[in-house]
Chains A and B, each alone.
Chain A
Amino acid sequence: MDFKPYVLMLFGNALLTTLISAVVVAVILLREYRPTIQRLKQERRTRQR
């Protein structure tokens, strides 16, 4: 096996870009939307009961 670290850097950075964007979006969803979503879900459950 002939490991080429620079090739890992090329495709690793491409993957890292997607991972960073995913983490940034996940943080926004969790911090800015999740509390409202949880509250709405709770309200719906209460109404159903």
Chain B
Amino acid sequence: MTITLTIFVAVLAAYVLVAAGLARLIKNRDDFYVMGEQGSTLLLVGTLAATFLSAVTLMGIAGISYSEGPLVIGALGSFGAWIGTLIAVVWIGRKMKAMQCRTMMDFFDRRFNNKWVSVVALILMVIGLLGYGIIQLIGAGLVLAEIINVPFPVIIIAFTFALMVFCSLSGMYGVVYTDTMMFFTMLAIAFVISPMLIDQASLESMRDLGERLPGYWTLAGANGRTFSWSISQFLVWILFFACTPALVSRVFPAKNDFVILKVAIIGVFFAPALQLMVYMAAAAMQVIQPGIEPADRAMIVGFMDHTNPALAGLGLAGLMASIMSTASTLFVLTGFALARDLYEKLFEKQVSEKRSVLLGRVSQIIVSIIVCVIAIARPAGIYWISIYAGSIFAVAWLPTIVGAMKWRRMNSAAALACMLVGSISFVLLGELERNALITLPAGLDSLMIAFALGTITLIVMCLVRSPSRYELDRFEEMKSQRMSEITIGRFLQQDSTGATLIREYRRVWLVLLTVVVIATALWGFFFVRLGL
């Protein structure tokens, strides 16, 4: 057995064993869906950062950084993703957590209590999660199959079997714990392997890349992309990340508000830290080995050919982690949607705690089988769906959620119209553009137009139609639900002197100051060495 295959098997086995061991912690539906709300800062930072760093970063964007320069996506597109992540955690996720939501669908159900809104939101969620997840699994699985020389279907069966074990046996516990394990392999890529590659290339040689490849250290990059393209990347990524269920739902297992606030600081620090270190290493690869084709293999070539065998194995494990952590989150949420949001709530089935957990497990198995079959068959339709899948949350969900949280006049008709207009116009514009029937002005993306159309529809519907009594009551109730008050109440219940509350409060300040100092030192160092 080759070393790469050994690593592949060992890493999968480790994840499966850990997830299987966690199954004993599942006693009721809250354990299965939100870890019994016992998520610590480490676990939630781990799962957030691991979900954030997908194979797109390690391959696609690393490839662009390698061939065109690290600033092309890193300077504005990724910046949008980091800010979007912050919004997802500290605003949308925190508010939904205060409303006691277990899934994002709970928000739509409680805020509107309208079956049509729930059905449309659910359909969009399943399409969005599965379409985005499967295509990532296929893309990265093909590369992995080539590296370890194992047939693609075997890779997919192994992955989906592992995902089935995580998700069905231990629900959110399995996903969060294995994500945290994966986070450490990603840290190794960012802070061990990447610095080694940067050191091999030397920062001086990297800085001189601008002479060999004009524009390499500019926003336009070596291929001279337009400024409007960079701006559109920023907007697309911020809209996409701000309300994607994969990130927002990371907040729901949090133990208390202090954990969420610490995750907002540490987790959001790791988003740029993990990404920029990879982009810099990709630039280093341009010095070490120019001419890698296709460019999205730059980091893999770096791991395999320019580090020692142990680090190459770690790099491979990190690549697997980037595929699996994103996929496990997307698939576990799809399973939750089928079991909890579709069967239990939309069909109004009253089920016991035990049966609810069983139902959750069965739906995870069904999702794994569907994913496996689609990924192996690779029907043309999945590629078509994937073009629109991930961004559907930005155009359909984001205006609806923001309106529902902030506007008293928000009503179910506006929510429904916004989701339909946003998603349909997005697909329609995309198809017209793809088939060269229309040409959008430079820097204007179909996502932005669809977002604007959905938002305008929402505003018009809110102005022409009044909210129901239920919707007004829920809005007032929602406004009064605050994570801080819930947390203060719980802490004082356990310790009426407030000593524990004061200690936790001080800890958040300490974390905040420490992370600001580390970020200033890290990014200041790189700027001084590369920018002056």
Which A residues have a C-beta under 8 Å from some C-beta of B?
1-22, 24-26, 28-29, 32-33, 36-37, 40-41, 43-44
Contacts and interface: CB of A to CB of B under 8 A. Distances in A.
Interface stretch (B351-359, B473-481, B507-515): B507-515
Interface in B459-518: 482, 484-485, 488, 497-499, 501-502, 505, 508-509, 512, 515-516
Contact of B86 (A2, A3, A15, A17): A17
B268 A21 contact: yes
Nearest to B526: A11
Given A13-B76, A18-B268, A37 B519 contact: no
Contact of A8 (B82, B90, B265, B531): B531
Contacts of B71: 6-7, 9-10
A44 B495 CA distance: 13
A7 B530 contact: yes
Interface stretch (B189-197, B269-277, B322-330, B378-386): B269-277
5 contacts: A11-B527, A12-B527, A18-B269, A21-B264, A40-B498
A32 B520 CA distance: 27
A36 B501 contact: yes
Nearest to B81: A17
Contact of B271 (A4, A10, A17, A36): A17
Question: SS class of chain A's interface: helix, strand, loop or mixed?
Answer: helix
Contact of B532 (A1, A9, A15, A37): A1
B498 A44 contact: yes
A31 to B, nearest CB: 9
B56 interface: no
Contact of B508 (A4, A25, A43): A25
Given A22-B512, A28-B261, A37-B502, A11 B86 contact: no
B182 interface: no
B113 interface: no
A32 B512 CA distance: 16
B213 interface: no
B531 A20 contact: no
